[in-house]
Homo-oligomer: A and B are copies of this chain.
Amino acid sequence: MYIEDIGESGLIERISNLVGVKNRDIVVSIGDDAAVVRTSSDYYTLFTTDFLIEGVHFDLSTISAYQLGRKSMLVNISDIAAMSGMPTYALVSLGIKPKTKVEFIEELYKGMLDISKEYDFAIVGGDTVTSPHSLSVNICMIGKVEPNFLRKRSDAKIGDKILVTGELGASAAGLFLLNSKIKMDDILVKSHFEPVPRLKEARVSAECGAHAIEDISDGLASEIFHICDASGVGAFIYHDSLPIAKRVRDVAEVAGKSAEDFALYGGEDYEIVLTVAPERVEELINRVQSETGTIVSLVGEIVDEEKGIFILTKDGIKKSITKGYDHFEKGVL
C-alpha cells in the first residue's frame, strides 16, 4: 500500500496509533497544531515543526531567500498561535544544495531573524547539511502558554458558533496569480508570501472564552474537519458569510473558479478559526477588532456529530464539503 492511497491524514492516524504512549507530562501529543507538555508550574511548553521543501512548498524563481526565511518562521508561529501561546525559541535545519551562495543563506537567515525580533523569540540552534536536489528548511519552534489559556482542537462544543479572523482565499488567489503569471494584484501575491500569524487575535479570543482554536493552513474545510474529528461534533458552514475580499473574487472570476472554493480549499491563509458559545460571540468580535484591528466573521455553527459537516447556502441548500488539500493524495504529488 502506498502513502498516496491513504493520504496525509491516513498516515498521521497510523503514526498516532503506533506512537500511542503517553506520559503524565504530555498534555497534547501528535494530532494538534503543536504538542503541549508540562515543564513548569506557570507555563506549558509548546513544540511544533514545519518542513518546507523546494519544488513542493516554494519555488525559488518566485520567492526571495529573505521572504522564504520570513515565511518559514511565520508558518510555525501560526501553529503556536493556534494553541493561543507565544513563541520562545526556534531551531533551524537547512538542507543546502551544492553551489549555493553564502549570501543566499545569509539572506534566508536575515528573514528569519527579522521575524524573531518582531515576534520576540530567539533562534538557538539547528543543523546545516548538504541536500543534493532541493533546498529544504525545517523549523522547530518552541513556545509557551499559561495552562488556562491553552486551546485545543478537541475543545469545540455543540451549539458553539464558528468564527474566522480576517479574510480567506487571499493566499490561494495569490498563488493562482503567481502560477498563471497574470500581473493583477501584488497584495494577493504578498499575502501568499508573507502570511500574518494571528498570535494576538488567538490570545484575545481565548480571553473571551473561545473553545477550539486552529490556524487555517490547509483551507477552512480541512480545519473544520480537524476540529469536528477531534471534538466528536459536526458543523454547518454558512457559504454566504465567508469573508472574501473583492480582490479575491476578481481573481476567482478570471480563474473561472468559485471564490468560496479558494476560501474553503485554498491553503496558507494562516487566519484562525475558532469556536465560542453563542452568548460570547459579540464580545469576542468586538474585543478582537478593538485590540488588534482584525475583523472577525461568524461563518458557521457546531452541531451534533450525526448531522455531519455541510455547507449551507442562503437558499437553504446543504452541500457536502470535502476534506481539502492533502499533501500525499493521488494527483497532488
Contacts and interface: CB of A to CB of B under 8 A. Distances in A.
Interface stretch (A93-101, A246-254, A297-305): A93-101
A324 B93 CA distance: 22
Contacts of A50: 93, 127
A102 B56 contact: no
B19 A130 contact: no
Contacts of A8: 128
A125 B1 contact: no
Say whether chain A's binding surface is mostly helix, strand, loop, or mixed: mixed
Most chain B beta carbons < 10 A, residue from A8, A40, A50, A91: A91
A286 interface: no
A45 interface: yes
A56 B1 contact: no
Contacts of A124: 26, 29-30, 35, 37, 47
A93 B134 CA distance: 16
Nearest to A94: B51
Interface of A: 1-6, 8, 11-12, 14-15, 18-19, 21-23, 26, 29-30, 34-35, 37, 39-40, 45, 47-53, 55-57, 88-89, 91, 93-96, 98-103, 105-106, 109-110, 113, 116-117, 122-134, 136, 138, 140, 142, 327-328, 332-333
